């Protein structure tokens, strides 16, 4: 504990969290004081005893051990206005998806869709899918299940993992796990999938990052530092870091990944340096920095992390950023430049810029593009990466504003009738054949190829609150409310505007349900944002570049 105080300033939790929440609010301020009194006390100052005292200030949002799993949600009882009828339905559906291991809740299944002929692995607890469920439970003052999940997955990390004759890295976290109940022997066992059973044998690079981000959310929400400080958790963090900070032949600070490494877990041309992973990588590094105990080994990791964070933010903010000015510059690039004076560092051929991006780019606004590597810029918009860039402060404040400007300017394309398009635009015809390998599930404007995913609502809401645009969040939540319950909480919607329930979408998809609840609770009480958002790090100065959207 003592040690945490000594973490270099740009790594301490306190630094990340000193929001001026008041600027974000146009809602009842009732619950704000409570969290602020907690926020103002840096987590690094808390001893376990102090943490307990701090928790007393959290009044209704936290009642240690006191809530049964089937109570009325706290959030609806403390509402100063009538809760939407969907909220209670959503809580019921979320609780139906709970998975128990030896009578303890350890997660939520991906989908509770009895009508679907094929279960595949939707009856498993996915690490990424559980994140919005976890946030909903934390916001509702039920941290136990989150703690159980964190510990259970940590245990799974410790397993020896093999695919055929190949042994996976020690730090790898599973994509998902399943609890098998034996009714005769009355025993529960766990089967975990690290990619060895997954369709396409894809590596869940995002799992470890989500695990660290969730551990920080749990710590921040409960004030309970004791979990993160256990030897097991510290080891788990370090094992994940060892995997992603290891040295190789890389010339970039970004993390090299194979296709299918994230929420988009099929071939979709995201191999290379996908924004989805880079943003999560950045956020997980910042969270790890705040959670690590600065003993001798911890300090070494903290040092490596801060070096990587500096290089990563420089690289991302400069090379992945696209706005009108930048697009125009790339359009006029010279090629074949040699040496450090090169302007077109990655030798991008202007002819490779797709036509759509010229129309798509508004005069005001910008975004982080999908991928950057030699002679390759993937200009597609990816929602998760851009929202996480805002939440982690990978995006500078100006860039965050520009991303929100772009969403507003391209509302029809990115939100349409159902938030939120996972990728824009869809790929089609020859490109679809080459990029997806003719994947019939990923035809244009469906699933990962331009489908609309309700789960993304919580990330957009959080980004809206952080950038002071709650009215956008309200608008998107209303869109979701007009369809989600009626359509039985589909996994995704299809079509250019997201009007159709997805071709192979599961119903009662848990993260569609919990994503909605998290969005609602955050809008109702924006102080929840602190759980999942990191304040700008003043030491990571933005790259100075010419850019219209940065200056206006
Ligand atoms: C699909 C999604 C993936 C999700 C899983 C479980 O495979 O692509 O992101 O984790 O379903 O819902």
- DSSP for 126-180 reads EHHHHHHHHHHHHHTT--HHHHHHHHHHHHHHTS--EETTEEPPTTPPPSEEEEE
**What pLDDT, in 10s, does the model give residues 418-438?**
999 999 999 999 999 999 999
Kindly report the protein residue whose alpha carbon is nearest to atom 2 of ligand 1.
Answer: 263
| CATH code of the domain covering residue 323 | 1.50.10.10
Determine the Cα–Cα distance for residues 530 and 39; give it in Å rounded to an integer: 8
pLDDT at 455 over 60: yes
Q: Report the separation in Å between the CA atom of 263 and the middle of ligand 1, taken as the mean of its atom positions.
A: 6
> For residue 310, what are the domain limits?
85-531
Residues 6+ apart with CB under 8 A from 391: 283, 459, 462, 463, 466, 532, 533, 534
Q: Report the separation in Å between the CA atom of 75 and the middle of ligand 1, taken as the mean of its atom positions.
A: 28
pLDDT at 400 over 50: yes
pLDDT-based confidence at 74, cuts 50/70/90? low
In a domain, 63, yes or no: no
Q: Contact 323/366 with Cβ under 8 angstroms?
A: yes
Determine the Cα–Cα distance for residues 384 and 84; give it in Å rounded to an integer: 26
CA nearest to 10, candidates 542, 535, 493: 535
**What pLDDT, in 10s, does the model give residues 341-396?**
999 999 999 999 999 999 999 999 999 999 999 999 999 999 999 999 999 999 99
Q: Report the separation in Å between the CA atom of 511 and the middle of ligand 1, taken as the mean of its atom positions.
A: 10
The token duo for 448 is 């990962």
The stretch 28-40 carries a mean pLDDT of 32
In a domain, 488, yes or no: yes
pLDDT-based confidence at 120, cuts 50/70/90? confident
Cα–chain-centroid distance for residue 162?
27
| Predicted pLDDT at 543 | 53
Q: Report the separation in Å between the CA atom of 526 and the middle of ligand 1, taken as the mean of its atom positions.
A: 28
pLDDT at 93 over 50: yes
pLDDT at 61 over 60: no
Determine the Cα–Cα distance for residues 422 and 64; give it in Å rounded to an integer: 37
Residues 6+ apart with CB under 8 A from 516: 86, 90, 454, 457, 458, 477, 480, 484, 489
Number of other CB atoms surrounding residue 265 within 10 Å: 22
**What pLDDT, in 10s, does the model give residues 484-537?**
999 999 999 999 999 999 999 999 999 999 999 999 999 999 999 999 999 988
In a domain, 538, yes or no: no
| Predicted pLDDT at 114 | 72
pLDDT-based confidence at 474, cuts 50/70/90? very high
Q: Which of 104-108, 196-200, 319-323, 383-387 has the lowest mean pLDDT?
A: 196-200
Determine the Cα–Cα distance for residues 521 and 525; give it in Å rounded to an integer: 6
In a domain, 9, yes or no: no
Rounded to a whole number, what is the distance in angstroms from the first to the last CA of the chain?
44
Report residues whose beta carbon is within 6 angstroms of any ligand 1 atom: 110, 126, 128-129, 263, 265
Q: Report the separation in Å between the CA atom of 127 and the middle of ligand 1, taken as the mean of its atom positions.
A: 10
pLDDT at 552 over 60: no
Determine the Cα–Cα distance for residues 508 and 171; give it in Å rounded to an integer: 32
| Predicted pLDDT at 81 | 58
pLDDT at 12 over 70: no
For the CA atoms of the chain, what is the radius of gyration? Answer: 22
Kindly report the protein residue whose alpha carbon is nearest to atom 12 of ligand 1.
Answer: 110
| Predicted pLDDT at 113 | 78
pLDDT-based confidence at 155, cuts 50/70/90? very high
Kindly report the protein residue whose alpha carbon is nearest to atom 4 of ligand 1.
Answer: 263
pLDDT-based confidence at 83, cuts 50/70/90? confident
Per DSSP, helices labelled H in 66-123 are 74-77, 85-96
| Predicted pLDDT at 115 | 73
In a domain, 35, yes or no: no
The stretch 315-327 carries a mean pLDDT of 98
Q: Report the separation in Å between the CA atom of 122 and the middle of ligand 1, taken as the mean of its atom positions.
A: 8
In a domain, 455, yes or no: yes
What atom of ligand 1 comes closest to residue 175's alpha carbon? Answer: 10
Q: Contact 323/34 with Cβ under 8 angstroms?
A: no
Distances (CA, A) of 419 to 235, 484, 496: 38, 11, 12
The phi, psi pair for 534, rounded to 5°, reads -120, 135
Signed CA dihedral, 225, 231, 235, 238: sign only = positive
| Percentage of residues in the chain having pLDDT higher than 90 | 79
| Percentage of residues in the chain having pLDDT higher than 70 | 83
In a domain, 514, yes or no: yes
Q: How many domains are contained in the chain?
A: 1
DSSP letter assigned to residue 355: H
Kindly report the protein residue whose alpha carbon is nearest to atom 9 of ligand 1.
Answer: 263
In a domain, 18, yes or no: no
pLDDT-based confidence at 20, cuts 50/70/90? very low
Distances (CA, A) of 398 to 95, 359, 365: 40, 22, 10
Determine the Cα–Cα distance for residues 129 and 47; give it in Å rounded to an integer: 32
């Amino acid at each position: 504990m003592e040690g945490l105080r000594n973490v270099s300033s740009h790594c301490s939790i306190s630094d990340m969290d000193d929001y001026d929440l008041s600027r974000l609010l146009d809602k009842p301020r009732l619950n704000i004081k409570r969290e602020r009194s907690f926020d103002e006390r840096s987590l690094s100052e808390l001893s376990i005893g102090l943490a307990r005292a701090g928790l007393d200030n959290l009044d209704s949002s936290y009642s240690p051990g006191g809530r049964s799993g089937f109570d009325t949600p706290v959030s609806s009882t403390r509402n100063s206005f009538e809760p939407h009828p969907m909220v209670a339905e959503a809580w019921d559906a979320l609780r139906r998806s709970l998975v128990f291991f030896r009578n303890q809740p350890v997660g939520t299944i991906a989908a509770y869709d009895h009508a679907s002929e094929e279960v595949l692995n939707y009856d498993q607890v996915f690490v990424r899918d559980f994140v919005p469920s976890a946030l909903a439970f934390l916001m509702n003052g039920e941290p136990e299940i989150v703690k159980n999940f964190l510990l259970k997955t940590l245990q799974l990390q410790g397993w020896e993992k093999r695919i055929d004759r190949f042994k996976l890295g020690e730090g790898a976290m599973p994509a998902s796990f399943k609890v098998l109940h034996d009714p005769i022997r009355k025993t529960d066992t766990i089967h975990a999938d690290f990619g060895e059973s997954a369709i396409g044998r894809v590596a869940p690079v995002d799992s470890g990052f989500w695990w660290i981000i969730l551990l920080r959310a749990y710590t921040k929400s409960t004030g309970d530092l004791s979990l993160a400080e256990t030897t097991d958790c510290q080891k788990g963090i370090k094992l994940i870091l060892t995997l992603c900070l290891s040295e190789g032949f890389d010339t970039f600070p970004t993390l090299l990944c194979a296709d299918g490494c994230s929420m988009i877990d099929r071939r979709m041309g995201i191999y290379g340096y996908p924004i989805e992973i880079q943003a999560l990588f950045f956020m997980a590094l910042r969270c790890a920095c705040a959670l690590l105990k600065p003993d001798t080994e911890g300090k070494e990791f903290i040092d490596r992390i801060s070096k990587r964070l500096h290089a990563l933010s420089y690289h991302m903010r400069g090379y992945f950023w696209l706005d009108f000015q930048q697009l125009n510059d790339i359009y006029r690039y010279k090629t074949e430049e040699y040496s450090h004076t090169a302007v077109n560092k990655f030798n991008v051929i202007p002819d490779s810029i797709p036509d759509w991006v010229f129309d798509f780019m508004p005069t005001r606004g910008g975004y982080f593009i999908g991928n950057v590597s030699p002679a390759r810029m993937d200009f597609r918009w990816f929602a998760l990466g851009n929202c996480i860039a805002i939440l982690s402060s990978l995006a500078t404040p100006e860039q965050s504003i520009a991303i929100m400007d772009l969403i507003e300017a391209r509302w029809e394309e990115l939100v349409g009738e159902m938030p939120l398009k996972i990728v824009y635009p869809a790929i089609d015809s020859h490109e679809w054949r080459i990029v997806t390998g003719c994947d019939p599930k990923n035809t244009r404007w469906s699933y990962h190829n331009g489908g609309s995913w309700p789960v993304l609502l919580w990330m957009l809401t959080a980004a809206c609150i952080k950038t002071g645009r709650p009215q956008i969040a309200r608008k998107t939540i209303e869109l979701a409310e007009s369809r989600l319950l009626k359509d039985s909480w589909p996994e995704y919607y299809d079509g250019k505007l997201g009007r159709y329930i997805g071709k192979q979408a599961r119903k009662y998809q848990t993260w569609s349900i919990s994503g909605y609840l998290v969005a609602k609770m955050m809008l109702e009480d924006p102080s929840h944002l602190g759980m999942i958002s990191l304040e700008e790090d003043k030491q990571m100065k933005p790259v100075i570049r010419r850019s219209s959207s940065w200056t206006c």
